[in-house]
Amino acid sequence: MTLWSWLSTHDHKRIALLYAISITAFFFIGGAAATLMRIELATPAGDVVSAETYNKLFTMHGVIMVWFFLIPSIPATLGNFLVPLMIGARDLAFPRLNLTSWYLYVAGGLFTLAALLLGGVDTGWTFYTPFSTLYSNTHVIAVVTGVFIAGFSSILTGLNFIVTIHKLRAPGLTWFRLPLFIWAHYATSVILVLATPVLAMTLTLLGIERLFHVGIFDPALGGDPLLFQHLFWFYSHPAVYIMILPAMGIVSEIIACFSRNPVFGYRSMAYAIIAIAGIGFLVWGHHMFVSGQAVYAGMIFSLLSFVVAIPSAIKVFNWTATLYKGTISFEAPMLYALGFVGLFMFGGLSGLFLAALALDVHLTDTYFVVAHFHYIMVGGSVSAYLGGIHFWWPKITGRMYPPKWAQFAAVLLFLGFNFTFFPQYLLGVEGMPRRYHEYAPEFQTLHVLSSAGAVILAIGYLLPLVYLTWSLTRGRKASANPWGATGLEWTVPSPPPVENFGETPIVTQEPYAYPPHAVSGGARRAAST
């Protein structure tokens, strides 16, 4: 158990833990930047930090949270740990590549951190040209390089998952017997592999342009800054689905387990995941409604954005239907999952406001947008991530955490989150623009509410850090299957042995074969005959 044995491990379970530790560190760094912003925004005057510092804070918050926390969060930790276990494999297809991926992630992260510490960058996480190429005096190239390197870590993870899911499934584990967690990771991997290279090349072009002061994004030469926005969002919109699809996978597992029902409409859930991933590639222009793109392009992007809402709604309906007549228990993971469904629905519906062309003109670049994507990414993805951590914690560590504390933290997080971000919807509707460090006095009440909520939210994040760490040594030992859940990962000891399975399992069951209940007629009759 030396440090080197960890740093040179090819075991997907250990690499998952390496990722878990590193993304947690980045989460709290990104969170620190957000904390400073919320302190600044408690008063209308720009009195805590200067405008320049504030720009650097929201850039740092965005860059770190998007590329060094959210993108790798679920896939690289829980996905890494669980994908081989759920499909009955010994490891991912390419274990060395998996470790390489973590090293690339760390290298990219250190690059970015170094740049941020040396003076930071003020372009916003979107790096819009020509500001990023011509006018900004900050460390754009260093940060872009960091993101570029981290991009390759995403690509390698995606590649590994695709090959593993195709080629290493246990005998009998057909596509429609796969847990939805696996479906979600498959779709996510396809996005990682197809979208990330576009970002990588776009950032390369940006870097070259900044270095040599010539390039295709430069309007002075007849180049096109809008081209940058198109290419950037061609990656960055699907990136939102990289964050939310694995979260949906987790929530499906948890809700089925704690309502003791098979996931309602399993096949439509799988198809919905694929549909979201596919259509998600065709909606990037809704980030550019006011940029001057063609109005007809805007109409089509608007329409397609509404279309994405359909598979998303199917998922919400099916989660709700899974609860119907289930034996529901409110363990901590379930609280996170139910919180996810509510917050995701809220965030998703406010997305429809923004997808409407005319309404977007009013709402664009206001706090409404900030509230919308935080509901999806923080309310949605982070809640699901924590739900997943709580659900599989006994499997990963072999220990139980104190359940009452966990339930308390889940509820606190839900309340704190809404307290922080709901006021931002109202601020946005009233016209408060994003990315400003001072504001008109009439916005103060809502800003103070939001900052106060952020304190509760922060406690909600710190609590699990404390009791989960405590449980590592003091927690009760966990059995192989403490929740009575279905799925191959629960058939092996907690924590699983290095080779995962003593003998390759043979799958004969449909997924989510939870015992039939009260009036689930057909299944029950079938069982009794």
Partner 1 sequence: MSSAARAEAAEASGAFSDRDQQREACDLGMWVFLTTETLFFGVLFFGYLMARLRFPEAFAAAGRHTDFALGTINTAVLLTSSLAMALAVRAAAIRRRRWAVLLLGATLTLGVAFLVIKGFEYRAEYLQHLVPGADFRFDAAQRDAAQLFFWLYFVMTGIHAIHLAIGIVVIGVVAARLAFGGFALQSPLSVEMAGLYWHFVDVVWIFIYPCLYLIARS
Q: Which residues bind partner 1 (CB under 8 A)?
A: 10, 84, 89-96, 155, 158-160, 162-164, 166-168, 193-198, 200-202, 204-205, 208, 212-216, 220-224, 227, 231, 504
Closest to partner 1 by CB, 202 vs 322, is 202
For residue 57, the minimal CB distance to partner 1 (Å) is 30
The terminus-to-terminus CA distance of the chain in angstroms comes to 53
Closest to partner 1 by CB, 204 vs 445, is 204
Closest to partner 1 by CB, 129 vs 383, is 129
Closest to partner 1 by CB, 166 vs 474, is 166
Assess contact for 381 and 244: CB atoms under 8 A: yes
For residue 501, the minimal CB distance to partner 1 (Å) is 11
Alpha-carbon distance of 109 to 67, in angstroms, equals 9
Q: DSSP string covering 391-428, please?
A: HHHHHHHSB---HHHHHHHHHHHHHHHHHHHHHHHHHH
Q: Which of 343, 350, 464, 337 is nearest to 415 (CA)?
A: 343
Tokens 């405590």 found at? 470
Assess contact for 58 and 37: CB atoms under 8 A: yes
Closest to partner 1 by CB, 200 vs 245, is 200
Alpha-carbon distance of 266 to 438, in angstroms, equals 49
232 bridge partner residues: none
For residue 407, the minimal CB distance to partner 1 (Å) is 37
At residue 399, φ and ψ (nearest 5 deg) are -130, 150
Closest to partner 1 by CB, 153 vs 420, is 153
Closest to partner 1 by CB, 173 vs 454, is 173
Assess contact for 48 and 40: CB atoms under 8 A: yes
Assess contact for 139 and 118: CB atoms under 8 A: yes
Closest to partner 1 by CB, 204 vs 509, is 204
Task: Give CA 267 to chain center in angstroms.
Answer: 23
298 bridge partner residues: none
**Length of the chain in residues, anyone?**
529
366 bridge partner residues: 433
In Å, how far are 171, 302, 348, 510 from 354, measured between CA atoms? Answer: 46, 9, 10, 40
What's the DSSP call for residue 388? Answer: H
For residue 93, the minimal CB distance to partner 1 (Å) is 5
- What is the token pair recorded at 86? 């759920």
Alpha-carbon distance of 40 to 451, in angstroms, equals 9
Closest to partner 1 by CB, 8 vs 469, is 8
Alpha-carbon distance of 507 to 504, in angstroms, equals 10
Closest to partner 1 by CB, 227 vs 349, is 227
For residue 212, the minimal CB distance to partner 1 (Å) is 6
For residue 132, the minimal CB distance to partner 1 (Å) is 16
For residue 99, the minimal CB distance to partner 1 (Å) is 12
Closest to partner 1 by CB, 239 vs 255, is 239
- What is the token pair recorded at 282? 């065709």
For residue 83, the minimal CB distance to partner 1 (Å) is 11
Closest to partner 1 by CB, 292 vs 484, is 292
For residue 230, the minimal CB distance to partner 1 (Å) is 9
Alpha-carbon distance of 41 to 447, in angstroms, equals 6
For residue 96, the minimal CB distance to partner 1 (Å) is 8
In Å, how far are 54, 121, 127, 150 from 59, measured between CA atoms? Answer: 9, 7, 9, 17
Closest to partner 1 by CB, 95 vs 398, is 95
Closest to partner 1 by CB, 98 vs 471, is 98
For residue 228, the minimal CB distance to partner 1 (Å) is 10
For residue 152, the minimal CB distance to partner 1 (Å) is 9
Close Cβ partners of 195 (under 8 Å, ≥ 6 residues apart): 234, 235, 238, 239, 242, 281
Task: Give CA 525 to chain center in angstroms.
Answer: 41
Close Cβ partners of 26 (under 8 Å, ≥ 6 residues apart): 64, 65, 68, 69, 109
For residue 264, the minimal CB distance to partner 1 (Å) is 33
CA angle 144, 148, 152 (to 5 degrees): 165
For residue 433, the minimal CB distance to partner 1 (Å) is 30
Name the strand (E) or helix (H) holding 455. helix 444-474
